[in-house]
């Protein structure tokens, strides 16, 4: 190759890299602001067509209805952060909905046996933590791909729930549950405040502490994190345990919302996955964030609520959620492929 041709190639490569970078930044900005515009559009359309859609009471109702899925999605977001963007080989926890169901069953069963909240609450959270620890052991120590490991754990946990409850609803009523299921003077559910407080707490930990920075480092730059001496296995295991604890908390909230355990916990899996994955489009770099997950939970919550107010079939909601997963995963995969 002549010196002149080599010089031409050297001039071309930086220009090509800059053009690709600008194109990617533009695509990310379009996806991010397009999502915000879509969110605003949904609010506008439903406010014009559905009665009382933007009333304080209905907004509080949406927050309350989104609390369970939101807490579970925050747990999944932590796993996504530490596992990276590829949900097949990276971070995913498909056992969260089943975790919530078993934790709720443990809580309700203990109440039925005469134990109070002082015993039932820690037991439910411990149940979730144990399930998270099993996931961590399968992924970190056994080396099983998270998608398959958590899928297997999901089926095991679902079976345990059926054995414990004998496939029936276990009713439960306690002062603590009554407090969680109450409304304030404005008609806003207490669960709405629980969701906001929980989101704030986890946001501080994940987004603004050295621990959170390490989680992002492991997920986005695993080789650099390994070279820096970060305890990768402990961080990944801790993320799965934290996700499991979120499942236990979600179980408690579920019991308060339904006044007992539920046999249909598996139906929560799709909304949780949608919420966690969709949350990444609200960040500047298409990475999972806790505030983004909250925005996503509200988007899904308002979407479902608007359909309910307009008496649109709930089957359409599942279809829309599936489309959202397909669009988000496809867009983020293509953008990251361009980056490489």
What confidence tens digit (pLDDT) does each residue in 259-284 have?
888 877 777 888 898 888 888 877 77
Total number of domains constituting the chain: 1
Q: pLDDT at position 86, please?
A: 64
Q: Which residue has the higher pLDDT, 194 or 33?
A: 194
What confidence tens digit (pLDDT) does each residue in 244-261 have?
999 999 999 999 998 888
Q: Which residue has the higher pLDDT, 74 or 330?
A: 74
Average pLDDT over the chain, rounded to whole?
Answer: 83
Position 296 pLDDT exceeds 70: yes
Q: What whole-number percentage of the chain has pLDDT above 90?
A: 41
Domain presence at residue 56: yes
Domain presence at residue 7: no
Q: Which of 38-52, 65-79, 91-105 has the lowest mean pLDDT?
A: 38-52
Stated pTM of the model: 0.86
pLDDT category at 209 given cuts 50, 70, 90 is very high
Q: pLDDT at position 9, please?
A: 44
Q: Which residue has the higher pLDDT, 334 or 101?
A: 101
Q: What CATH number does the domain containing 216 carry?
A: 1.10.3470.10
Domain presence at residue 1: no
Domain presence at residue 13: no
Domain presence at residue 2: no
Q: pLDDT at position 12, please?
A: 45
Q: What whole-number percentage of the chain has pLDDT above 70?
A: 80
Q: Provide the residue range defining the domain that includes 265.
A: 21-339
90-99 mean pLDDT: 89
121-148 mean pLDDT: 94
Q: pLDDT at position 298, please?
A: 87
Position 205 pLDDT exceeds 80: yes
Domain presence at residue 295: yes
Q: Which of 54-68, 99-113, 310-324 has the lowest mean pLDDT?
A: 310-324
Q: pLDDT at position 198, please?
A: 96
Domain presence at residue 16: no
What confidence tens digit (pLDDT) does each residue in 10-45 have?
554 555 555 555 555 565 565 556 667 777 777 788
Domain presence at residue 8: no
Phi, psi of 85 (to 5 degrees): -80, -20
pLDDT category at 336 given cuts 50, 70, 90 is low
Q: Which of 30-34, 185-189, 204-208, 215-219 has the lowest mean pLDDT?
A: 30-34
């Amino acid at each position: 190759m002549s010196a002149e041709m080599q010089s031409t190639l050297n001039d071309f490569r930086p220009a090509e890299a800059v053009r690709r970078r600008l194109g990617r930044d533009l695509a990310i900005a379009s996806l991010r602001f397009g999502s915000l515009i879509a969110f605003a559009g949904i609010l506008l359309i439903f406010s014009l067509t559905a009665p009382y859609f933007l009333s304080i009471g209905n907004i509080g109702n949406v927050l309350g209805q989104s609390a369970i899925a939101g807490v579970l999605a925050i747990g999944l977001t932590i796993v996504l952060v530490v596992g990276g963007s590829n949900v097949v080989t990276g971070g995913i926890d498909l056992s969260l909905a089943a975790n919530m169901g078993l934790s709720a069953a443990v809580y309700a069963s203990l109440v039925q046996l005469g134990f109070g909240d002082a015993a039932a609450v820690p037991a439910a959270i411990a149940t979730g933590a144990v399930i998270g620890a099993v996931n961590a052991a399968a992924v970190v120590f056994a080396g099983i791909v998270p998608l398959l490991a958590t899928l297997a754990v999901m089926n095991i946990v679902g079976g345990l729930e059926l054995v414990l409850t004998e496939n029936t609803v276990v009713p439960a009523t306690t002062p603590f549950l009554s407090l969680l299921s109450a409304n304030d003077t404005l008609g806003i559910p207490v669960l709405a405040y629980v969701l906001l407080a929980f989101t704030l707490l986890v946001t501080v930990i994940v987004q603004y502490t050295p621990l959170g920075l390490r989680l992002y480092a492991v997920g986005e730059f695993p080789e650099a994190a390994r070279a820096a001496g970060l305890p990768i296995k402990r961080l990944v295991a801790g993320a799965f345990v934290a996700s499991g604890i979120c499942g236990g908390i979600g179980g408690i909230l579920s019991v308060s919302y339904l006044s007992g355990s539920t046999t249909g916990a598996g139906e929560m899996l799709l909304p949780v996955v949608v919420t966690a994955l969709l949350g990444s489009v609200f960040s500047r770099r298409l990475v999972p964030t806790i505030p983004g997950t909250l925005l996503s939970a509200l988007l899904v919550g308002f979407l479902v609520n608007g359909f309910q107010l307009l008496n649109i079939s709930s089957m359409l909601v599942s279809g829309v959620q599936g489309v959202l997963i397909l669009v988000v995963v496809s867009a983020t995969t293509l953008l990251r492929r361009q980056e490489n």
